[in-house]
Amino acid sequence: MLDIDITEQFSRALRNSRKVAVLTGAGVSAESGVPTFRGEDGFWRNINPMELATLEAFSRDPETVWEWYLHRRDTIRTIKPNPGHYALAEMAELYNDFTLITQNIDNLHRLAGSDNIYELHGNIHRNRCMDCDHTDYTESFSKLPPPCPKCGGRFRPNVVWFGEMLPHETIDRAMKAAYQAELFFTIGTSGVVQPAASLPLIAKQNGALVVEINLEPSEISHICDIKYHGKSGEVLPAILRKIRELKIMSIQEK
């Protein structure tokens, strides 16, 4: 069981923060077996995911893009949340105001019991009609995107592709949570993709203590006050244990 060093500043923030926000990326699901986006394991049939996750690729070759999502749905159906997902779900119970913002579309935070989740880039299990906006959880296994059950239009995965706007309400609420946070965690993200990667900076600029948990330094490490370079599935449970100890100490001191 990993034991981690906690600075006095971090322990004060863990004990006293009322508003906590968390941004997660593909790295938080890596220990569940979900390939990350920019790691070696992220490629599919030697195609870079960045080239597949676009409307242009889907319009040009719907079959290949649709098949990539079917392949990822199949992978995700077989995997489970890891201790990092569960630790975040339990951490949320220990704070009045805890917001979980994820770039991931794999639904693992919800499976681990988290709620109040902002899925910035959508959810892989949902489809959306490009003509009438109807969305549903069609578990379609057809080789080609199925027609929309409502209007017969063109169905697509209900995720945000590169070059597409994020759902307004979701990103607005995520930015508000970052703005108001006293303690902000950025976990398992390379900090490359915008506007998600700007959230830690918004938190920092508005006075939050920003803590990074990532396997290696990222594009946003330089703005983080505290950095744990390790596996989120090990570091998060260790932080959860510290929070519990601190909360018990606070009760005993009263």
Q: So which residues are the catalytic ones?
A: 121
45 binds ligand BV8 (CB under 6 A): no
Q: Determine, following the binding rule CB under 6 A, whether residue 211 of this chain makes contact with ligand BV8.
A: no
Our CB check for ligand BV8 shows the closer of 107 and 214 to be: 214
159 touches, from ligand BV8, Zn ion, none (C-beta below 5 to 8 Å by class): ligand BV8
**Residue 34: count of CB within 10 angstroms of its CB:** 22
Does residue 146 belong to the site contacting Zn ion (CB under 5 A)? no
Report whether 69 contacts 157 (CB < 8 A). yes
Give the whole-angstrom CA distance, residue 11 versus residue 2: 17
| Element spanning 201, H or E | helix 199-205
Q: According to CB under 5 A, which one of 113, 146, 153, 230 is a site residue for Zn ion?
A: 153
The binder of Zn ion chosen from 92, 117, 124, 129 (CB under 5 A): 129
- 61 vs 131, beta carbon nearer Zn ion: 131
- Choose among 181, 191, 179: nearest CA to 227: 191
Q: Of 108, 177, 193, 211, which lies in the binding site for ligand BV8, with binding defined by CB under 6 A?
A: 193
CA proximity to 205, closest of 180, 235, 241: 180
Identify the bridge partners of residue 147 per DSSP, sorted by sequence position.
154
Residue 105 binds to ligand BV8 (criterion: CB under 6 A): yes
d(CA 5, CA 11): 10
What element of type H or E holds 30?
A: helix 27-30
List of residues contacting ligand BV8 (CB under 6 A): 25-27, 30-31, 36-39, 42, 53, 103-105, 121, 159-166, 188-190, 192-195, 214-216, 218, 231-233
Which residues in this chain contact Zn ion in the complex, by CB under 5 A? 129, 131-132, 134, 148, 150-151, 153
